[in-house]
Amino acid sequence: MLPLIFTLISLPYAPEALEPVISRETIAFHHGKHLQTYVDNLNKLIAGTEFEHMSLEQIVCKAQGGIFNNAGQILNHNLYFTQFSPAKDDNHTPKGAIMDAINRDFGSFDAFKAEFEQKGVTLFGSGWVWLAADNDGKLLITQEPNAGNPVTKGLKPLLTMDVWEHAYYIDFQNRRAAHLQALWQIINWDEINHRYNN
């Protein structure tokens, strides 16, 4: 069996398509440099190990140290970059099963957004805030430091906001809260609904 070679994901939109929320410059650094480095590092680290034939999810659930960190960051960023679409699209309001679940588990979409942003702002240092679902479809918000992903807790990751500074510093400087508030304009809820239902 040939080893898996991980590659940089292609973006489902043009580099400037998320402006002004995420600039072309941020995409160039965040996707083109940071994520590329994680991909390159992981391919080197897993060569000749038990992990070289595993999927990203399998590696994240079984590895530790540098292999976990790089695999986790690839998995996280793949989910992050593919959850957006340009602000002019009309898929930025949740509907269907995901909206029903948000209303059931958080009371309202506004209450969900407020809790999600608060968890993002209060996560100390670098990491990720996630909307995830358990095996019964119940939604919860988790704070994951560094390269953490709720898949390690047996949860299905649905939506994430990256609170590493490189995700927002070019566009928002130290204003993490403003960055998190702006991201709702480009969330592709059709994609989040698809993840929830599959």
In tens, the pLDDT along 161-194 reads 999 999 999 999 999 999 999 999 999 999 999 9
CATH number of the domain that 138 lies in? 3.55.40.20
Structure tokens at 102: 């948000």
Q: Are residues 68 and 112 in the same domain?
A: no
Single-letter code of the amino acid located at 150: P
Domain coverage including residue 184: 96-197
Residues near 126 by beta carbon (within 8 Å), at least 6 away in sequence = 145, 146, 163, 164, 165
Q: Are residues 185 and 109 in the same domain?
A: yes
End residue of a domain, out of 81, 113, 129: 81
In tens, the pLDDT along 47-66 reads 999 999 999 999 999 999 99
Mean pLDDT of 69-93: 92
Q: Are residues 77 and 107 in the same domain?
A: no
Nearest to 81 by CA among 164, 160, 178: 160
pTM over 0.85: yes
pLDDT classification of 89: cutoffs 50, 70, 90: confident
Q: Are residues 63 and 35 in the same domain?
A: yes
Whether residue 12 is contained in a domain is answered as no
CA distance 191 to 45: 31
Q: Per the structure, how many domains does the chain have?
A: 2
- The four Cα atoms 54, 59, 64, 65 give a dihedral, to 10 degrees, of 90
> Cα(first)–Cα(last) distance of the chain, in Å?
28
Interior angle at CA 111, CA 105 and CA 117, nearest 5:
110
CATH number of the domain that 62 lies in? 1.10.287.990
Residue count (the chain): 198
Mean pLDDT of 68-81: 98
Nearest to 81 by CA among 142, 159, 154: 159
Q: Are residues 111 and 172 in the same domain?
A: yes
Structure confidence at residue 3 (pLDDT): 81
Mean pLDDT of 60-83: 98
Chain mean pLDDT for the chain: 96
